């Protein structure tokens, strides 16, 4: 079971395999479930740029459990209680954006792990604790070993510390954010920005490899582009975003078949 047994994304990565997923920006459990039935390994449920301070996240995680796909939740950075809350409702992993220092990465681990690794508070009256049915010790041990903890590398400040950030015990992977990274470059020269983003990704991959960690990246839906990122060392491949897939698919058909 997703919230009791091994985390299949963690297991595949540990075995040297790559994992495939997609991003969910809608609040639809049906989309999560349908994506899971496609055979992907994870869904990245976004709560940083989509409003999720209601029951919708719980419903989407339940849909992930039904479809046997690992829900990895991107949460807001500046709320120290969100890691615990996301993990309590059953997230198979969390991602915290805008991490720029080793100290900040350590704070993420402290918030996500029970002692002795961290300082997360105990409360089994939640979905991942099976509403109190799981014994505290077993649940805490599982919670410390199976859910994934990720941070975002998305600025030049973060890149300057990327080796130290990814060396933090308890951090499993980095999601590289090309959009925010390009903003941090501070240039209007598109070619220079593109080159800087590629260098940032390359250095993040190198730091992850050195620390025996992993890199997640949004790779779109172009097969040649996906193969290129695999060759570069990206092991967690995010195949598009649900709402963008719908919009772009319909847009292409409208362009081809709308009457002039």
49: annotated active-site residue? yes
Specify whether the CB–CB gap between 161 and 100 falls below 8 A: yes
Which pLDDT score is estimated for 260? 61
CA–CA gap between residue 236 and residue 44 (Å, rounded): 11
Specify whether the CB–CB gap between 171 and 116 falls below 8 A: no
Q: Is the omega angle on the peptide bond into residue 116 within 30 degrees of 0, that is, cis?
A: yes
Other residues' Cβ atoms within 10 Å of the Cβ of residue 226? 17
Which pLDDT score is estimated for 19? 98
Which pLDDT score is estimated for 1? 46
| Positions in the chain whose pLDDT score sits under 50 | 1
Please report the beta strands in the chain, taking only residues with DSSP state E, as ranges in sequence order.
19-24, 42-46, 70-74, 93-96, 148-153, 173-176, 214-218, 236-241
Report which DSSP code applies to 26: S
- From the list 49, 59, 214, 241, the catalytic residue is 49
Task: Give this prediction's pTM.
Answer: 0.95
CA–CA gap between residue 231 and residue 191 (Å, rounded): 22
According to CATH, the topology of domain 8-257 is TIM Barrel (3.20.20)
The two beta strands, 236-241 and 19-24, are parallel
CA–CA gap between residue 93 and residue 185 (Å, rounded): 29
* Segment 84-87 long-range contacts (CB within 8 Å, at least 24 positions apart): 84/111, 84/112, 84/120, 84/121, 86/47, 86/57, 87/112, 87/120, 87/128, 87/143, 87/147
């Amino acid at each position: 079971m997703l919230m009791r047994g091994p985390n299949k994304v963690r297991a595949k990565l540990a075995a040297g395999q790559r994992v495939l997923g997609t991003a969910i920006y809608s609040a639809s459990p049906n989309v999560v479930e349908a994506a899971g039935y496609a055979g992907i390994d994870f869904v990245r449920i976004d709560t940083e740029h989509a409003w999720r301070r209601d029951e919708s996240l719980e419903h989407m995680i339940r849909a992930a459990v039904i479809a046997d796909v690992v829900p990895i939740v991107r949460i807001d950075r500046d709320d120290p209680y969100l890691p615990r809350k996301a993990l309590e409702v059953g997230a198979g992993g969390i991602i915290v954006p805008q991490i720029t220092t080793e100290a900040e990465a350590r704070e993420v681990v402290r918030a996500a792990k029970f002692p002795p690794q961290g300082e997360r508070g105990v409360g089994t009256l939640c979905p991942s604790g099976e509403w109190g049915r799981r014994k505290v010790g077993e649940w805490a041990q599982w919670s410390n070993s199976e859910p994934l903890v990720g941070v975002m590398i998305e600025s030049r400040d973060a890149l300057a510390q990327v080796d130290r950030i990814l060396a933090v015990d308890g951090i499993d992977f980095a999601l590289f954010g090309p959009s925010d990274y390009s903003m941090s470059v501070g240039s209007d020269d598109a070619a220079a920005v593109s080159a800087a983003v590629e260098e940032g990704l390359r250095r993040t991959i190198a730091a992850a490899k050195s620390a025996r960690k992993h890199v997640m990246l949004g790779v779109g839906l172009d097969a040649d582009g996906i193969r290129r990122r695999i060759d570069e060392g990206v092991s967690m491949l995010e195949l598009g975003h649900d709402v963008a897939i719908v919009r772009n698919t319909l847009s292409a058909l409208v362009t081809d078949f709308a009457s002039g």
